[in-house]
Amino acid sequence: MKLNKTILTLIFAGFHVIAYGQKLDYLFPIKPGVTNALSGTMGELRATHFHTGLDIKTDGVEGLPVYSAQDGYVSRIYVSPGGYGHALYVTHPDGNTTVYAHLQRFNEEIAAYVLNEQYRIKSFYLNKYLTKEQFQVNRGDIIAFSGNSGSSAGPHLHWDLRDPHQRPLNPLTFNFSEVRDTRSPAIQKVALKTMDKDARINGQFGRFEIEVSQNRVLKPLSLEGNIGVEVLAYDVLNDSGNRCGINDLGLSVDGEKVYQCDIDKLSFAQQRSIYVYYDYPGRMANGARYHKLYIEDGNDLIFYENSPANGIVRFHKDREAKLNINLTDTYGNLSIVEIQVNDSKQQHPRLKNIPDIQKTSFFIQDNTLIFSTEAREGPTPVFLKLKNNEEKQLESSYFAAGKDVFLYDLREGIPELIQSAETSVQTNLKEVITPGKSYQFYDDHLDISFGNSSLFDTLYLQTAYRQEPDGKEYFTIGNLNVPLKKSVSVTLKPEEKYHPQSKAYSVGENGELYYEGGKWENGKLTLNTAFFNTFTIVRDTVPPTIIPLSLAGAEVRFKISDDMSGIARTEARINGEWLLMHSDPKTNRIWSERKDKNKTLKGELVLKVTDNTGNEQIFKHKIE
């Protein structure tokens, strides 16, 4: 084992322990000593989580040797159809753990152990924690071969480097010569957001996305009040065309730093907090993930130790200011965006925001309700009917694109109805729910149970119910643009009677259905959900489909699918004895692996595939 001479080593229970938190000399796990290309880096913004390590390219092929990065022992073996697929965890003398995921297969010794365990517990899925005596490895040992298993979108090795508390670290800080990066981060757009109802961007309220040219915002900007700044950007490396993550982001106003974010470690317990790190409504609208350069309520991520403030800046419309956005990658390559604002010599054109006020009757941004009407001559007030039957009159806050725009602070009371000269709009707003405590909401058609950790921030709860002429019932819960920190329990109380096999499905934008499940009790269907959505109740009566692809004595292969609730489990037996079936949901393929390679499959084969609502399909075949 190669160690720095200054490191003190101790021998304990036959295993080396490194003192004083010294860094080990880690080996790059794929093609060490050769330039490698990355398709993903630690801290990169994925839709549902921060990426925890490196995605190392394998030239589009599987089966490359995967090397142990240091001396240690295999502390965990994980096998699953989704997620990491086939994965190994190796714990090292410094207490760190390296994780090798989406593997094609393990080395012979580990593979034999895994196969015996799968047959022992009669399950393809395996999550096994090991002692240090079982599989000790040396730096440079081949422990597995790269693949495309689990939720991988193409052949590669996902590689984590985690500290003794299992917090992912940035592997690129360990100075691997195999990765080259002399290129600065690329900047696509900047977004500006009003943080309360009195703030304005070019005289308007909302969130506005603005193009960047040669790292400058050329559109004239007038900012007033409390404003948040966001940036859409990515890092680029020398040997890869992929868009990777940026780990160091800062914001300065007139040379004074007001925000600093350093993504150098992650916590799995906080992965869902990515929904308050990037702009969640924007991601829901168009898929873009903007880095917020401000810290909102509910954001308790561990990235801000060096931030002097929360990044929300108060501007005076008559005072010029210069904003600098600084983006730095792990190798120190820097990009700076300059934004000059409140130049009195310039005109400040109307900006288009998302959602645009011309496309929606009303929407809610944080604590503010926004409503617009066609502009008319003279005063055109809007009236709000509150839950306590109080009535409020609103005057237009500003005029834009032929519209009078009205802003209302929801902290002053919950409006049930918005009444204008043109129309009357039901808000479906029911309750104000604060984070940090449990809350039970009851309504005619649904109940919701919030835990004390369910919310990031104050929630203005919206619910709605409708029944179509065909009898289908739809239950809308919450605002799709508001993320949940943890799941809530929802009880649907339908007016129709349903077969016990009927389950809850969430409804997509185009009417597509996604299985959610649920449990019936006294005519009510209860489910847990981690996202606000519209739900309906449907019965799945069609069993899964089984298509044989190969029925040879060495191996049987099938294509299986289910068009409604999805496949819950498969079970294969040969002459009554359990047969291991590997699974790849990406291709809908399953295939067998015999425990004894010297024995061919012969006799009565029975494959049973069950969907999530209990429908079964059974395939039988006699292998001669």
Predicted pLDDT of residue 359: 65
Task: Please state the length of the chain.
Answer: 624
CB under 8 Å, gap of 24 or more: what pairs does 287-292 form? 288/189, 288/232, 289/45, 289/47, 289/232, 290/189, 290/191, 290/209, 290/230, 290/231, 290/232, 291/45, 291/230, 291/231, 291/232, 291/233, 291/246, 291/249, 291/261, 292/228, 292/230
pLDDT on residue 352? 84
The secondary structure element, H or E, covering residue 408 is strand 403-409
Locate 98 and state its tokens. Answer: 């390296």
Is-contact 42 171, C-beta < 8 A? yes
pLDDT the model gives residue 377: 77
pLDDT of 3: 33
pLDDT at 611: 97
- Residues 192, 190: Cα–Cα separation, whole Å: 7
pLDDT tens-digit map of 111-155: 999 999 999 999 999 999 999 999 999 999 999 999 999 999 999
Write down the pLDDT at residue 212.
95
pTM over 0.75: yes
Q: Whole-angstrom Cα distance, residue 11 to residue 1?
A: 13
DSSP-assigned beta bridge partners for residue 157: 56
Low-confidence ranges of the chain (pLDDT < 70): 1-23, 355-360
- The per-residue pLDDT for 167 is 95
Hey, how many other C-beta atoms are within 10 angstroms of the C-beta on 34?
A: 9
- Confidence at residue 2, expressed as pLDDT on a 0 to 100 scale: 34
User: Smallest Cα–Cα separation from 181: which of 233, 234, 238?
Assistant: 238
State residue 283's pLDDT score: 93
- Identify residue 33 by its one-letter amino acid code: G
3-state helix, strand, coil in the chain (%, to 5): 5, 45, 50
CA 367 to chain centre: 25
Task: Write down the pLDDT at residue 379.
Answer: 73
Q: Which residues 6+ apart lie within 8 Å of 357 measured at CB?
A: 206, 370, 372, 400, 401, 403, 405
